[in-house]
Amino acid sequence: MILIVDLNWKKDSLGFCEFVLPIVSIAKELDEVVVKHYAELTREDTSKCNIIIFSGTALKDHVTLNQTEKFEWIKTCEKPILGICAGMQTIGLVFGLNLKKCLGIGMTQITTLKANPLFSSTFKAYSLHNFSVVPSDDFEVLAESTHCVQAIKHRKRDVYGVLFHPEVRNKEILQRFIHSFGQDRRV
């Protein structure tokens, strides 16, 4: 089962249709999907799933970036996690990374720096963000654009973040994440 965590400022906001439903559309073709708003997420929700995907949010929606205490569970979660845009930023903050101003709207050229199971080479992706993360020793940079870090992975765990929105243009990245890590890994 895939748990998709809605990071939008409130449950059933307009951002749900824009940032969560496209992920659901891709994921439900591959496995059972459950969607939970971050404010309603429980330990039981995370224990029932095989993988977790954090959605992105609207450009001016920074709510989760100011509520990282609600995501401390990520540090001990043994499930593979993929954070998209605000999801990557939230993951970064939980693990002590700093954010850096980096406005990106529209198509962006992404260059892969390190081999990984999600993407390779150079490709175009859709961006909609205000911030990127500043890398640390705990995370390796998987990809970048000319202006900022575009993808990261925790060095010891299957915790990934992408700044761009694969649900818009590169759905194969979400499919690869689900195929690579979606097998039954319940602890």
Q: Per residue in 144-182, pLDDT tens?
A: 999 999 999 999 999 999 999 999 999 999 999 999 997
**Confidence at residue 62, expressed as pLDDT on a 0 to 100 scale:** 85
Size of the chain in residues = 187
Segment 64-117, tens digit of pLDDT = 999 999 999 999 999 999 999 999 999 999 999 999 999 999 999 999 999 999
**Mean pLDDT (the chain, rounded):** 93
**Confidence at residue 182, expressed as pLDDT on a 0 to 100 scale:** 79
d(CA 83, CA 166): 11
Share of the chain above pLDDT 70, in %: 97
pLDDT range class, residue 186, cuts 50, 70, 90: very low
**Confidence at residue 185, expressed as pLDDT on a 0 to 100 scale:** 44
Q: Which residues are catalytic?
A: 85, 165, 167
**Confidence at residue 92, expressed as pLDDT on a 0 to 100 scale:** 96
Q: Cα-Cα-Cα-Cα dihedral of 21, 14, 49, 83, to 10°?
A: 90
Question: Tokens standing for 128?
Answer: 């909609």
**Confidence at residue 177, expressed as pLDDT on a 0 to 100 scale:** 97
Segment 107-141, tens digit of pLDDT = 999 999 999 999 999 999 999 999 999 989 999 99
| 59 or 183, which is more confident | 59
* pLDDT value at 183 more than 70: no
What's the 3-state SS for the chain? CEEEEECCCCCCCHHHHHHHHHHHHHHCCCCCEEEEEHHHCCHHHHHHCCEEEECCCCCCCCHHHHCHHHHHHHHCCCCCEEEECHHHHHHHHHCCCEEEEEEEEEEEEEEECCCCCCCCCEEEEEEEEEEEEECCCCEEEEEECCCCEEEEEECCCCEEEECCCCCCCCHHHHHHHHHHHCCCCCC
* pLDDT value at 187 more than 60: no
**Confidence at residue 60, expressed as pLDDT on a 0 to 100 scale:** 86
